[in-house]
Structure 1
């Protein structure tokens, strides 16, 4: 006989682990089942801080998704990596722990008509999730980082903070930004990210923190099953009563909560007969409920790199990355105590979020709906991001060893107006959907891409930065609109911040699939608790948003069921 639980949670990424952990730790101790399609990811060596940039290349931990050819990006197929295994994408992401803008959450609350998503409520959840380590290395001035304890948590399961050792040229780079007119921000996680900061890492003492940490110790009323991919829901009389995995059934007496992410939650729904009727009919999937908005509304951030070869000795990277023996010795040191070069190089980066006056004055901005303009003009809402010290040599095939003394900055496009789709391509529930983010399709996005690069050149072409450049390794041909946009088309990458494919909204909203209680409208006993529901793509690297989204869903369930 199949086992029965109170709640079943599908997916062990940040949202799913936060939901399952909070439910299981509720006072009434309900029986919770957490299902993960991948393996346990339990090897400590998968959590080396400085190798966070390489982990996503581990094919056992990555679904290996790609986009469809992107029409507005020279028909390129773009990497669309998603984490596979315990921790989901938190096990393969790049370790940036940012929460976004106060204005993001107030806008979320406005769209869905629920104050539970306002900044004041969401900040409390962020604080409950983290143990923040704000100590700076010896000799580092507090002007670079000086968070207020009141903005951070001290007893949560996620250990986040600053690296204990910084690369020698990082403070100097922050000074260059300040000299070019980019103000310093002592804490990008205060609710106002505007300014230049050092980013807060989801690592501590050289060790990556992932969603799996929310399940330690594992409550005895929480059952965790790995290598258990869910193909479809079990539905009875318009109610979700369980899930199917590889021919086996699992049942929930109260609710099924999907947290498989923006690319895979829609797949489970569609193969359960819940989704756009035309797609279901095309693949002979019986229609249980036609929900045209499922799979629509995909949003994502994207970025391009700017890379310059620097004068010899300008950075210390060549001596480390250019010598396999040095890297091996450093790994021995990391295995002993979590210190050394693998807890230093590319472990503390600079990051900044900025507004663009020239974007706001553009025709493309003025053509946006009034509500969107008001949101984008909010005090805390940035228009683009710059990230420094990215280890780009791992991402460019056959990167020349002679150029390891380099500087790489990433420029991120924020608040893109394009909406993409995830679509059925098979009646096989194990086949992925088609993923089309439709990058750079909207006129506003093209203008924002152009102006963000142009603004970044205020730093890159300043005397303080340019004097140490020897050669351009990756940069636009010129600062003309045409050359800047073509550089984006040819070099754009996803930021892997997929959001919005099972959008939350008010019951009367035609583009909404779930309500503010996370309930899939029209199906009882079914909730969606991952970033697919987010009606706002927050202005940050989104893992923190996923954790807080799952926690919010759990809080609503605990209150509703008096757990």
Structure 2
């Protein structure tokens, strides 16, 4: 180590949900260790990016998004898919769609079983997310209170992350929920109870009209936490297979205890591989000296993918045209939001419906019966869904050129538990070049067959008389309801949810598909850990920002215990 250079106790690389949680929790421990949080992007301190109703378009801000794309997807007509990743403080939480879902109890209990450690079980994970959460479950209008009845014991009320329901809803949300229930979708009064099955209203990562991001956990951080932005880490500094620091362009930062990478499934493998940690065959292609041959790094990529159905609806069911069709109305609403955080921008696009579902039509498929027995067993567990349905997705925020009439409803089907497994790999020896991202969307025969059945169910519920009576026409959907046309449509319109998971997955020593152990330690290297969605060995059935928060909190618990930082 360089004489006279400042040495931190811990260096956390990446200030997304996992990294912010980890760094904040370590710094607030009784021992007050010196913690350095390094972020490749900027401060993301523009308050206009926190407007609740505008959260659907935040990812289009170039300074907040790395702008990643997949490789051409073989099973999707060679399409290149958007693979957005958050840039700057807050990471993905600063550009995602602002939904806060924790997943299924059985996700976490399966994770615990996989690594033989109850640290990752539902009971422990639920406590951690409750400690982070500041939940507001109130619904002001009495007629809307039937859509959500969260139990107090399933939520936290003292944390730094504001979550809850929007104070005002667009008028056709409750109408659609009633119609979908009549069409056969059971209701769920709280999708964050550990059992997400059934249709209800989405809990938002927002509060009082303002988007919540991981940066909120850094508010009031003690002086022993140092935050440095605009500093991309290129590699880990190693001495005899021991991590002692990190290297950026022209500078090194040193740590006496641990380096923890929290840069996500698309970038944690990049830092590892440029440090000589990864598949030897890949590293040798680019003349990167091999420090630790770790074949699992970059493999195991999982994600959730979705396909939309857009229907034009009776304009009397909603009043969106009066707002989105008027620039002055939107401008005046922004002025009001800037003044006191209220107004139409805390109503329009701020509350949607969501639900997760199991289906016999999935488990009866031959393609399901052909899956390995443990996969079938997992998907048959009580709280594990096969797909998700979202109603009221405001897609015009993303594709404004497609709409002149905003009296539409976008209903979206998300496949859960996809069996296609992708990879991320080097494309050069230059650490400034992103990896190549190949999620292999819809390449597995189960995924293709299941997506067709899921979409057929979506068509069935929207064709039900209760819902169909307010549908005027189809804006975007398959040419017909044949399996062939549905599959063709899915391939042409499938998108990523940006839930990339599993490229440095957790497992047991000797597991060929594992890169870290149940204490987040990289196999074969001392004082180096990874704590983000790349290590999660079970693709959780949710929108994964909550899992990232829990992962960071869990790693913090592990480090506090190991280093006795609570004393």
TM-score of the aligned structures, taking structure 2 as reference length: 0.98
Mapping 1:92-171, distance limit 5 Å: 92-171=95-174
**Contact preservation (8 Å) 2:369, 2:376:** yes
CA distance in 2, matches of 1:343, 1:398: 23
Q: Deviations over 1:50-102 (max 9, x none)?
A: 01001100000000000000000000000000000000010000000000000
Shift of 1:309: 1.1
CA distance in 2, matches of 1:466, 1:3: 66
- Structure-2 residue corresponding to 1:471: 473
Match of 1:330 among 310, 325, 333: 333
What is the distance in 2 between the residues matched to 1:233 and 1:484? Answer: 47
Q: Does 1:70 align with 2:67?
A: no
Structure 1: which 5+ runs fail to align? none
Q: Is the 8 A contact 1:144 1:186 kept in 2?
A: yes
**Pair 1:520 & 2:522 matched:** yes
Query: Which residue matches 1:26?
Result: 29
Aligned equivalent of 2:277: 274
Q: Deviations over 1:328-349 (max 9, x none)?
A: 0000111111111110111000
2:201 is matched with which residue? 198
For structure 2, the residue ranges without an aligned partner over 5 or more in a row are: none
Residues 84-142 of structure 1: CA deviation (Å, up to 9, x unaligned): 00000100000000000001001111111111111011000110010100000323343
Matches of 1:341 and 1:388, distance apart in 2 = 20
Match of 1:371 among 359, 374, 393: 374
Whether 1:248 and 2:251 are equivalent positions in the alignment is yes
Pairwise CA distance, 1:311: 1.9
In structure 2, the residue corresponding to 1:140 is in which secondary structure?
A: helix
Distance (Å, rounded) in 2 between the aligned partners of 1:274 and 1:363: 40
CA distance in structure 1 between the aligned counterparts of 2:90 and 2:215, rounded to whole angstroms: 5
1:33 & 1:23 partners in 2: Cα distance?
A: 10
Q: Does 1:213 find its partner at 2:196?
A: no
Kept in 2: contact 1:241–1:253 (CA 8 A): yes
User: Aligned equivalents of 1:299 and 1:369: distance in 2?
Assistant: 17
Aligned to 1:559: 561
For residue 296 of structure 2, what is the aligned residue in structure 1?
Answer: 293
Q: Which residue of 1 aligns with 2:492?
A: 490
- Native 8 Å contact 2:64 2:88 kept in 1: yes
Q: Does 1:536 align with 2:529?
A: no
Q: 1:356, 1:451 within 8 Å by CA — same for their partners in 2? A: no
Match of residue 182 from structure 1 = 185
Contact 2:41 2:229 in 1 (8 A): yes
Residue 2 of structure 1 contacts residue 249 of structure 1 at CA under 8 Å; is this kept in 2? no
Within 5 A, what are the aligned runs for 1:399-414?
399-401=402-404, 403-414=405-416
Determine the C-alpha separation between the residues in 2 that align with 1:404 and 1:168. Answer: 13
CA contact (8 A) 1:506 1:512 kept: yes
Deviates more, 1:293-302 or 1:475-484: 475-484
Partners of 2:52 and 2:206 within 8 A in 1: yes
What SS does the corresponding residue of 1:313 show, helix, strand or coil?
Answer: helix
Does the 8 Å CA contact 2:183/2:467 hold for their aligned counterparts? no
Alpha-carbon displacement from aligned partner over 1:280-321 (angstroms, at most 9, x marks no partner): 111111111111110000000010111011122221111111
Query: After the TM superposition, which of the residue ranges 89-98 and 364-373 deviates more from structure 2?
Result: 364-373
The separation in 2 between residues aligned to 1:170 and 1:63, in whole angstroms, is 33
State the number of aligned residues. Answer: 562
Q: CA deviation at 1:464?
A: 1.5
CA distance in 2, matches of 1:529, 1:224: 18
Deviation at 1:397, TM superposition (A): 5.8
**2:48 counterpart (45, 49, 67):** 45
What does residue 310 of structure 2 align with? 307
| SS in structure 1 at match of 2:492 | helix
Partner of 1:237: 240
Aligned-pair CA distance for 1:279: 1.2
User: Which stretch of structure 1 is more off in the superposition, 479-488 or 325-334?
Assistant: 479-488
SS at match of 2:145: coil
Contact 1:106 1:119 in 2 (8 A): yes
Structure 2 residue 391 is matched with structure 1 residue 388: yes
1:84 matched to 2:63: no
Alpha-carbon shift at residue 367 of structure 1 (Å): 0.8
